[in-house]
Amino acid sequence: ACALARTARAAVRCQATGTCFSAHAANGSYAEARNACGRKRGNLAWVSGEPELRLLLEMLAAEATAPSLFWVGLKRNASACTNTGQPLRGFSWEGVDGGAAPQEVPAALGRWAKEPVRSCLTARCAGLHLAAAA
């Protein structure tokens, strides 16, 4: 999986389980980021639990300049509604190779920098926001 944003250089981190994340310098839309990951034989990043989320966030914090926005594989289709009662607000992880990605929601992903627009008519994408240290 890969996360794309403005970074100083490409970085890669892997878990013992074989899950790897990479960050790449880019400045574009969600669709452009997804296509760029595909050209690198990957997908926009999604996490299946707390260990993967920690690995991804540690890599981004070590390699990126804050503030930065990283596109990840979190999307709400136009047919789905915003649901503020759910941690992912109606968004879901885009599957790999057409399959369904795990739907576990690490607790840290329940903290939204900005609530998504309430809608059931427009597709929306979400990213990870790396904030500057306070």
What does the pLDDT read at residue 25? 65
Q: At residue 134, does pLDDT exceed 60? A: no
Given the DSSP bridges, would you call strands 68-76 and 124-130 parallel, antiparallel or unpaired?
antiparallel
Average pLDDT across the chain, whole number: 78
What does the pLDDT read at residue 2? 61
What does the pLDDT read at residue 93? 83
Q: At residue 80, does pLDDT exceed 70? A: yes
CATH 3.10.100, domain 12-97+105-130, yes or no: yes
Cα–Cα dist 98/121, whole Å: 23
pLDDT digits (tens, 9 = 90+) for 8-51: 356 788 888 777 888 876 778 888 888 888 888 888 888 878 88
What does the pLDDT read at residue 97? 52
> Phi/psi at 37 (nearest 5 deg)?
-65, -40
DSSP 113: S
pTM of the predicted model, to two decimals? 0.76
Annotate 5-25 with b (16+ C-beta within 10 A) or e (fewer). bebeeebebeeeeebebbbbe
Please say whether the beta carbons of 77 and 123 come within 8 A: yes
What does the pLDDT read at residue 44? 87
